[in-house]
Amino acid sequence: MNSWKNIQLQDSASPIMEQLTFFHDHTLLILTIITILVGQLMINLLSNKMTNRLLLEGQSIEIIWTVLPALTLIFIAIPSLRLIYIMDEINSPSISIKSIGHQWYWSYEYSDFKNIEFDSYMVPVTEMKPFNFRLIDVDNRMIIPFKSQIRMLISSTDVIHSWTIPSLGVKMDATPGRLNQSSFLINRPGLFFGQCSEICGANHSFMPIVVESISPNHFIKWMINY
């Protein structure tokens, strides 16, 4: 969960988010090196009073400033492409859950085991309990087992929404008439919060997402007792 003092990425709770964090740090390091190098060259250019009026061309320096940016882009592109393929690959999901966006709430369907369907509304401030989080808690949380491959099927009934949970590295548009899919695996039990990340109308800020990760045994009991 994000907080007022968190100025970095949220703590990862899935392998995908761990890889996204590594790629973020990798790219940020390269950008820092480029910024320092270009800044140093500009400072030297402005502070250096020496000129060479006979210098008309320099094949060596032109080759260097062409090859170096190409190598830099390769060092960024290869991890990025690898991560894209990892995120798109879905291998034998344990559970498939359908999430449908509405103005302005989410509904969930568990169709693998038995017909479990429920709506998930934000808990109003007037009905909050002491353990609720303001504006990001819901009345019915999406329950899933940890260390299980989850496939999310995401769609919408009215306008474009976006099902997003930052700590899981999941962000997928919910588009009317289209069924998008994404997959993730949660490493540990806990509560993971997200929100709709596509401006969808007046109450766009009031349709949060809460995923509760529990053990597989407790998940089976929850399914039986639902």
pLDDT digits (tens, 9 = 90+) for 88-145: 777 788 888 999 999 889 999 988 777 788 899 998 888 888 888 888 889 889 999 9
pLDDT tens-digit series, residues 51-63:
777 677 778 888 8
**Alpha carbon 146 to chain centroid, angstroms:** 18
Tokens 């808990």 belong to 123
Round to whole Å and give the CA distance between 154 and 162.
9
Q: 3-state DSSP call for residue 204? A: helix
pLDDT tens-digit series, residues 26-53:
999 999 999 999 999 889 888 887 777 7
Q: Sketch the domain layout of the chain as residue ranges.
A: 15-48+58-88, 95-225
- What CATH superfamily classification does 95-225 receive? Cupredoxins -  blue copper proteins (2.60.40.420)
Round to whole Å and give the CA distance between 197 and 194.
9
Element (H, E) at 180: strand 180-185
Give the mean pLDDT of the chain. 86
Round to whole Å and give the CA distance between 157 and 85.
29
Round to whole Å and give the CA distance between 168 and 161.
18
User: Residue 2: pLDDT band by 50, 70, 90 thresholds?
Assistant: low
Q: What is the pLDDT of residue 67?
A: 92
User: Residue 203: pLDDT band by 50, 70, 90 thresholds?
Assistant: confident
